[in-house]
Amino acid sequence: MNDRDDRYDVIVVGVGGMGSAAAYHLADRGLDTLGLERYDIPHTKGSSHGITRIIRRAYYEHPSYVPLVERAYELWDDLAEDTGRDIIHRTGSIDAGPEDNAVFAGSKRSCEKHDIPHEVLTGAEVNERFPGYALPEEYRAVYQPDGGFVVPEQAIIAHTEAAQANGAEIRARERVRNWTETNDGGVRVRTDRGVYIADALVLAAGAWNYKLTDALEGLAVPERQALGWFQPETPATFTPEKFPVWNLSVPEGRFYGFPVYDVPGFKIGKYHHRQEDVDPDEFSREPDREDETVLRDATEKYFPDAAGPTMGLSTCLFTNSPDEHFILDTLPNHPQVAVGAGFSGHGFKFASAIGEVLADLAMTGESDLSIDLFSLDRFE
């Protein structure tokens, strides 16, 4: 702890999925922590909402993610147990596509490399076991029984309350204007309400991160996304007990989805929905008919029993890096500033572990977890 009342050990900018976890881990280690969030906690303006987020051990994006997701599972279970909140649900997960497609082949490779329990199924076998699916019979799928979903709003609340219980100060509705380095190597953060000083800084502002440091210009690009909820014709088929979460690569693109949970409707989304890079402060947040059509057409084709009346539509933001791998590092010219960015639509499942990594980086500049894949210097 620092003995000056007007100075913190660490300031966290953004108290969403990643920032709330970072604030918790920092406070849990006894550091005097301030979290600053421009919107509510939680809110629906960025990337950390939508009721359900997939978590899966079978990770086709790159086998290097598997140790990180293993740690995330441990921390989600701990957080749920410690707080009593409904955070993680295991439904099983399906990663499917043509046999030579990266979704299936990469998922299978990760399972084999890391000895993750799984089954390889044909599309026909998936359809028979889980009647809500109507995959092409010749497709291949990896079924992993420990896959499921995290409830993002509950996760953020749990991390925030746990951080506060450990002494963190959390301020919502306070927008960060800028930050500068102090003469003694700390940071000075200016908001629309005041000025704060700390020894270290964590930038976890999601789609707004690139506006807080030139180092992320062109490397953390916000993209408009849309989600749809459609009422199943046979609701009992799409409950969490009977319907695994899924990733599916088809000619129309790469889609993902969930069972019915907490709100009416089967949930579906498409990666890079309409390929709309946006300014997070200036884009259309209201879903439109074209958004709905993209999602309904895929539902009618691959999950026809779920293609009933529309129950809800929502937008959110992905923040994409050029290679769609995360950015977890300290800034090149500011080693006291840790950044978590570029989660590219597949980051929330890792939030509990990423918070731990960001706390490590803020404290020592390195982490015991393997994060070489996520360094900033890979873009040089």
Q: Does the active-site annotation cover 49?
A: yes
Ranges of H-type helices in the chain? 17-28, 65-83, 102-113, 123-129, 152-165, 289-302, 351-364
Closest CA to 79 of 159, 22, 15: 159
Q: Which amino acid is at 362?
A: A
Q: Determine the Cα–Cα distance for residues 334 and 330; give it in Å rounded to an integer.
A: 7
Kindly report the number of other CB atoms within 10 A of residue 233's CB atom.
13
Q: Does the active-site annotation cover 53?
A: yes
Q: Does the active-site annotation cover 272?
A: yes
Q: Is 174 helix (H, G, I), strand (E, B) or coil?
A: coil
Q: Does the active-site annotation cover 211?
A: no
Q: Does the active-site annotation cover 113?
A: no
Q: Determine the Cα–Cα distance for residues 166 and 121; give it in Å rounded to an integer.
A: 46
Catalytic residue among 33, 52, 160, 299: 52
DSSP 219-238: TSEEEEEEEEEE--SSGGGG
Catalytic residue among 45, 53, 118, 270: 53
Catalytic residue among 25, 38, 49, 85: 49
Q: Does the active-site annotation cover 52?
A: yes
* Locus of tokens 């999950």: 303
User: What Å distances lie between residue 226 and 172, 292, 349, 359, CA to CA?
Assistant: 26, 8, 19, 31
Phi and psi for 203 in degrees, rounded to 5?
-100, 110
Catalytic residue among 108, 160, 316, 325: 316
Residues forming the active site: 49, 52-53, 267, 272, 316, 349
